[in-house]
């Protein structure tokens, strides 16, 4: 009996070591998307979305959704991005945050929309999140955190599982790498400029976010997008070198549009 128990214990330990080794393999690089598979990525995205939907209600503000869609279309159309391949989900919450999920999903909380002073500031945030998508940062990050083997296992789990909830927490409360943030910022500047939207407003948003760091109501966006003041300064510096006319994004009252 004792021998059988020891054999079982050894088997469990061996399995755990193999799983841990596989989960820590670096699958980053050009083969990232291929190694996880588009179908699996979409499954992961849907599982995570269901977890969000269990906690928050989607907004029913059709006027707001229409303006957000127009902004999204304008940025994507100006940069040859397939807008229909990217889904934007707006949830009712005072949380000041936006995040990218697998499967080319962007979640936005109305708290962030209210924190933005105007449509251009939101467009800057959206362009930044689009940069994370086009650079495949979210899957790179998940591969680093969990590894391909574990992600493939998770994709077959129940949406209400503790593991899914933990992944969602990591994606919405922990930071991208500084290099990934720099890449997303640069993409945002390029995307906004091509869409004739002044990137200065993204710098304004980041600068205002940085001033909240010492207050009680710290925007959750800070946790996943750090170094806001430094990044704002770089955006302002690049903005001075851009010689282009920018056109208004939304002529209505943003404060009346956003709840």
Per-residue pLDDT of 135-183, as tens digits, reads 999 988 888 777 766 776 766 665 556 778 888 888 888 888 889 999 9
Report residue 94: phi and psi, to 5°: -75, -5
DSSP one-letter string for 31-62: THHHHH-HHHHHHHHHHHHHHHHHH-EEP--H
pTM (whole model) above 0.85: no
Distance CA 47, CA 198 (A): 36
Quote the strand ranges of the chain, DSSP E.
Answer: 57-58, 87-92, 98-101, 105-109
- The 3-state DSSP class for residue 124 equals helix
Tokens of 181: 């943030």
What is the mean pLDDT of the segment spanning 104-119? Answer: 96
Comparing CA positions, the residue from 180, 143, 183, 187 lying closest to residue 40 is: 143
**Segment among 68-77, 145-154, 249-258 with least mean pLDDT:** 145-154
- Number of Cα atoms under 13 Å in the Cβ half of residue 176: 27
pLDDT at 8 over 90: no
């Amino acid at each position: 009996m004792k021998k059988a128990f020891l054999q079982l214990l050894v088997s469990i330990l061996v399995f755990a070591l193999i799983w841990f080794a596989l989960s820590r393999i670096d699958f980053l690089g050009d083969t990232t998307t291929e190694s996880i598979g588009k179908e699996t990525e979409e499954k992961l995205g849907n599982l995570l979305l269901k977890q969000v939907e269990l906690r928050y209600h989607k907004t029913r503000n059709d006027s707001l959704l229409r303006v957000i869609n127009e902004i999204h279309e304008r940025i994507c159309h100006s940069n040859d991005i397939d807008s229909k391949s990217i889904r934007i989900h707006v949830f009712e919450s005072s949380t000041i945050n936006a995040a990218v999920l697998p499967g080319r999903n962007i979640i936005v909380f109305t708290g962030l929309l209210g924190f933005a002073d105007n449509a251009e500031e939101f467009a800057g945030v959206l362009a930044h999140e689009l940069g994370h998508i086009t650079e495949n940062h979210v899957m790179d990050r998940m591969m680093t955190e969990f590894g391909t083997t574990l992600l493939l296992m998770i994709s077959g789990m129940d949406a209400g599982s503790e593991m899914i909830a933990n992944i969602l927490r990591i994606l919405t409360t922990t930071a991208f790498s500084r290099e990934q943030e720099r890449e997303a910022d640069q993409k945002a500047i390029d995307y906004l400029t091509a869409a004739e939207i002044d990137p200065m407003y993204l710098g304004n948003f980041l600068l205002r976010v940085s001033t909240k760091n010492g207050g009680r109501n710290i925007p959750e966006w800070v946790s996943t997008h750090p170094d806001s003041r430094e990044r704002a300064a770089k955006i302002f510096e690049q903005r001075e070198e851009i010689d282009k006319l920018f056109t208004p994004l939304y002529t209505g009252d943003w404060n009346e549009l956003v709840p």
